[in-house]
Amino acid sequence: MSSTRIIIAGGFLGAGKTTLLWEAARKLMGKGLCAGLITNDQAPELVDSALLSREGVKVAEVSGSCFCCNFNGFIHAVQSLRGEIEADVIIAEPVGSCTDLSATIMQPLKKFWKQELEVAPLSVLADPARLASILNGGTAGLHPDAAYIYRKQLEESDIILITKTDLISSEMLETLKKRTTKAYPSSTIIAVSTVTGKGIDEWLEDVSKRNDAGLRLADVDYDIYAHGEAVLGWLNGTVRLSSTTETDWDAFTYRFLTALSERFDEADLSVGHVKIIAENGDQYVAGNLTGKAETLVVRGSAGSSREIKLTVNARVETSPGELNKIVKETLNALVKDTYTPETVAWRFLMPGRPQPTHRFVEVV
Looking up residue 322, the CATH number of its domain turns out to be: 3.30.70
Q: Which residues pair with 9 in a beta bridge?
A: 123
Q: Say whether both 133 and 273 belong to one domain.
A: no
CATH number at residue 68: 3.40.50.300
| Residue 357 resides in a domain | no
Residues of the chain with pLDDT under 70: 1, 42-44
Domain final position from 213, 229, 245? 229
Clarify whether residues 70 and 160 are in a common domain. Answer: yes
Asked if the structure places residue 355 within a domain, the reply is no
Name the pTM for this structure: 0.92
Q: Are 156 and 248 in the same domain?
A: no
CA distance 284 to 303: 8
Cβ proximity of 189 and 180 under 8 Å: yes
229, 256, 274 - which closes a domain: 229
Please enumerate in sequence order all residues whose Cβ is within 8 A of that of 112, keeping only pairs 6 or more positions apart, or say none: none
pLDDT of residue 44: 66
- HSE-up of residue 231 (Cα within 13 Å, Cβ side): 19
CA distance 222 to 226: 6
Residue that is last in its domain, among 204, 229, 254 = 229
For 20, residues 6+ apart whose C-beta sits below 8 A from its C-beta are 9, 125, 161, 163, 192, 194, 200
Is residue 46 within 8 Å of residue 350, measured between CB atoms?
Answer: no
Residue 182 lies in a domain: yes
Whether residue 103 sits in one domain with residue 13? yes
Residue 363 is assigned to a structural domain of this protein? no
Q: Kindly state whether residue 362 falls inside one of the protein's structural domains.
A: no
Please state, in angstroms and rounded to a whole number, the distance separating the CA atoms of residues 319 and 140: 20
328 found inside a domain:
yes
Domain extent, residue 22, equals 4-229
Q: What integer pLDDT is reported at residue 29 of this predicted model?
A: 93
Find the radius of gyration of the CA atoms of the chain: 20
**Same domain (yes/no): 260, 330:** yes
Please tell me whether residues 107 and 179 are part of one structural domain. yes
Nearest Cα residue to 54 out of 317, 333, 308, 283:
283
Nearest partner of 302 among 228, 362, 241, 211, judged by Cα: 241
Q: Is residue 336 exposed (0-12), middle (13-18) or buried (19+ Cβ within 10 Å)?
A: exposed
9 within some domain: yes
Report if residue 132 sits inside a domain: yes
Number of domains within the chain: 2
Shared domain for 225 and 236, answered yes or no, is: no
Contact assessment for residue 222 and residue 152, using Cβ atoms and an 8 Å cutoff:
no
pLDDT in tens, 294-304: 889 999 999 99
DSSP 88: S
Instruction: Based on the fold, state whether residues 178 and 101 are members of the same structural domain.
Output: yes
The string of pLDDT tens digits covering residues 269-293 is: 999 999 999 999 999 999 999 888 8
Question: What's the pLDDT at 201?
Answer: 96
Please check whether residues 202 and 263 belong to one and the same domain: no
CB 16 within 8 A of CB 297: no
Residues 133 and 74 in one domain: yes
Residue 167 to residue 51: CA distance in whole angstroms:
23
- Dihedral (CA of 21, 316, 40, 303) sign: negative
Look at residue 345 and give its three-state secondary structure.
strand
Mark whether 112 and 240 lie in a shared domain.
Answer: no
Q: Give the pLDDT score at 43.
A: 66
Q: Are residues 150 and 9 in the same domain?
A: yes
Q: Which residues contact 216 (CB under 8 A, 6 or more apart)?
A: 102, 155, 156, 157, 158, 186, 363
Nearest to 125, CA basis, from 8, 33, 28: 8
